[in-house]
Amino acid sequence: MSENLLFTPITIGKKIASNRLVINAMECCDADPEGNPSPRTCRRYERLFEGEAGVIFLEAITVTYESRARLNQLSIMPHNQKALEKFTQAMRATNPKPLFIWQLTHAGELSNPEFSRRVSVKPLPGLGGDLLSEEEVDAIIDQFALSAKIAYHCGADGVDLKLCHGYFGTQVLRPYNDRSWKYGGAWERRRQFAFDLYERVRKAVPDPNFLVGSKVTMWEGIPGGQGCAGPDSAVMDLSEPLDLLQGLKERGANFILVSAGNPSLTIALAHSDKRIPDYAYLHHLFQREARKVLAPQVVTMGSAYSIFRDGKTTS
């Protein structure tokens, strides 16, 4: 085996990844009309499993078909269980080694109104959508918990409770969510959403071997965005995201996948561009700061490495 640290095993929770290469979540919108993996989805993941990465993330899979970002998005509701089980078995048969972690998502205000219900906790200018009641937000947490249970029964190694990229988790956590309601206004109330989410998911799947973690946007780069200094400020302030990581660590998170930006609004920050490598270096700063809070109990994973894949940042 190579001496390179990347190719050495790492313990995540009670599981072991055979190496430290991670395939980030990548939606490709090729599910069938019920939200089940299509032959094309299966072929994509087979190819990933044929590789030797230690961890593979399943792309953003919606906990409800009612509100979703993509027409042909994968879905994880009770009617999808059988198909997802078969899909997982096929991937394990291709290569049993990688840890397979599923990214559970709710699109909230990024749900596409052309085919689903756009909902919001405080609409960003230009987005809109139905304002959710506290009971509806509670029901969304229940949907995440049910989906985590389905993932567990289908044979996933764990779930990524998505708190990044402007999707529902971000919408609640960002300072722009300054309405006075159960999960709005003061940081202590906004972060409570993530804490309640973790508590309910752990309760739904009490097996300590099941991994629970999140992909987190450290700085969204829009006024009032996640990791910004206030509801009207785009200035970076990592105090809330770092406090969130501390709280998730205390609630038993096994991993955090550090990210940044909002692909709908600040795409260069989320998916670094070879012509603007500066943002990728910013990811390194976020990863270092996150690791200071999380290590050694919680594994820190990074993103935005792809532009370095040829050992250089220019094309």
Ligand X SMILES: Cc1cc2nc3c(=O)[nH]c(=O)nc-3n(C[C@H](O)[C@H](O)[C@H](O)COP(=O)(O)O)c2cc1C
Q: How far is CA 299 from the centre of its chain?
A: 15
Q: Does 254 bind ligand X (CB under 6 A)?
A: no
Residues in 223-242 at the binding interface with ligand X, rule: CB under 6 A: none
* Segment contacting ligand X by CB under 6 A, of 18-26, 44-52, 206-214, 243-251: 18-26
Mark the segment that binds ligand X (CB under 6 A) among 21-29, 141-149, 201-209, 227-235: 21-29
Are 275 and 227 a contacting pair, CB within 8 Å?
no
Q: Which is nearer to ligand X, 11 or 306 (CB)?
A: 306
With 0-12 CB in 10 A as exposed, 13-18 as middle and 19+ as buried, what is 126?
exposed
Nearer of residues 105 and 120 to ligand X, judged by Cβ: 105
**What tokens appear for 144 in the block?**
């995440």
Q: How far apart are CA 253 and CA 259, in angstroms?
A: 16
Which listed residue (226, 259, 266, 300) binds ligand X by CB under 6 A?
A: 259
Q: How far apart are CA 200 and CA 204, in angstroms?
A: 6
Amino acid at 45: Y
Residue whose pair of structure tokens reads 């550090």 in the numeric block: 258
User: Residue 215 CB, nearest distance to ligand X (Å)?
Assistant: 5
Measured between alpha carbons, how far is 101 from 159 in angstroms, rounded to an integer?
A: 5
- Cβ closer to ligand X: 119 or 163? 163
> Contact between 310 and ligand X (CB under 6 A)?
no
What's phi and psi for 258, nearest 5 deg? -80, 130
The enclosing H or E element of 39 equals helix 39-50
Asked if residue 24 binds ligand X (CB under 6 A), the reply is yes
Least separation in angstroms between residue 259's CB and ligand X is 5
Kindly write out the interface string for residues 147-186 of this chain, putting x where it contacts ligand X by CB under 6 A and - elsewhere.
Answer: -----------------xx---------------------
- Asked if 265 interacts with ligand X (CB under 6 A), we say no
**Nearest distance from residue 182's CB to ligand X, in Å?**
26
User: Using the rule CB under 6 A, is 305 a contact of ligand X?
Assistant: yes
CA–CA separation, 57 and 26 (whole Å):
8
CB of 263 to ligand X, least distance (A): 7
Of 273, 261, 281, the closest CA to residue 307 belongs to: 273
Residue from 19, 73, 287, 303 in contact with ligand X (CB under 6 A):
303
Cβ distance to ligand X smaller for residue 54 or 184: 54
* Residue from 89, 133, 297, 306 binding ligand X (CB under 6 A): 306
Min dist. Cβ of residue 105 to ligand X (A): 7
Residue 49 vs 57, nearer CB to ligand X: 57
Tokens (6 digits) for 163: 């708190």
| Under rule CB under 6 A, residue 88 binds ligand X | no
35: left (phi over 0), alpha (psi -120 to 50) or beta: left
Dihedrals phi, psi of 226, to nearest 5 degrees: -55, 135
Q: Which of residues 58-87 bind ligand X (CB under 6 A)?
A: 59-60
Q: What would the DSSP string read from start to end of 200-234?
A: HHHHH---TTSEEEEEEES---STT-TTEEETTEE
What is the DSSP pairing of strand 130-131 with strand 22-23? unpaired
Backbone angles phi, psi at 282, to 5 degrees: -60, -40
Residue 271 binds ligand X (CB under 6 A): yes
Contact residues toward ligand X (CB under 6 A) are: 24-27, 59-60, 103, 164-165, 215, 259, 270-271, 303-306
